[in-house]
Amino acid sequence: MESQDSFSEILLSLPLFQGLGRRDMDELLSKTKFHFQKFVVGNVICKETAPCKDLLFVTKGELKVSHGSENNKVIFHEILKAPVDLGIENLFGISQYHTRTITAQTDVQMFTIAKEFVTGILLTYEVFRFNVLGILCSRLQRADRILWTSPSDLLMRKLIQVCMRNFQRPYGSKIIQGKMADLAIYVGATRLKLSRLLNHLEENQLVILERKRIYIPRFEELVRYSQDHSDWE
């Protein structure tokens, strides 16, 4: 267990707690129950469609956050590094279930806060409420932009649009897992054309191609490249 001062610093590094004053932080620590957990590489932290009853906060390590296509033939993974919080958009609303499977990519240290403490204590702090609103609004606006993006006939744009719909964050390491033929159907292209595009991207060190696996080291660089080469067919 961290000392109170060091744990306060950890909390303040997380977006939901940024801006809280010392007095509020001390009060919050005395009232809120934190459940600390450790996971080793490969442990499943939560599964897609499982009820979301807690906020998850990762303080050390890396996560693999995974989401499958409707037929589950193509799986989209993204690697998130601590500090990171998860679950705020699934804790309330019409569907209170996790939308991603979360696995420990490295050894992970984390803590959770039950929904009853979020509603009964955390949301009484104005700064915390504004942080929640800011995060939810940013994610909603990004989802809205993706929703209203016109479908493209150009393959580079199609690939980026598919990625943006399936990844939660437009940056960092990503993995697309599945057969080339299944991904081509999902993107709306022929297998040959998609293979040519991916080989072109690999030549430019933007992706690494493996058997049934595409590794994207820095997704933001792929997005920037696609903006300058959007007419690639």
Q: Check residue 148 and give its pLDDT.
A: 66
Question: The pTM is what?
Answer: 0.86
Q: Check residue 232 and give its pLDDT.
A: 65
Q: Locate tokens 């961290």: which residue?
A: 2
Residue type present at position 116: E
Residue type present at position 27: E
| DSSP H/E element including 227 | helix 219-228
Residues facing 170 on adjacent strands = none
Put residue 93 in one of left, alpha, beta given phi > 0 → left and psi -120 to 50 → alpha. Answer: left
Give the whole-angstrom CA distance, residue 171 versus residue 74.
Answer: 20
Residues facing 175 on adjacent strands = 77, 215
Q: Check residue 143 and give its pLDDT.
A: 78
The rounded average pLDDT for each run of 10 residues, N- to C-terminus, in the chain (233 residues) is 70 89 89 94 94 93 92 93 90 90 96 94 93 89 74 84 90 95 93 95 96 96 87 65
Q: At what angle do helices 155-166 and 180-187 cross, to 10 degrees?
A: 100
Of 145, 203, 201, 206, nearest in space to 173 by CA:
206
Residues facing 209 on adjacent strands = 214
Q: Domains in the chain, please, with CATH? A: 4-146 (2.60.120.10), 150-228 (1.10.10.10)
Q: How many CA atoms lie within 13 A of 43 on its CB side?
A: 14
Residues in the chain: 233
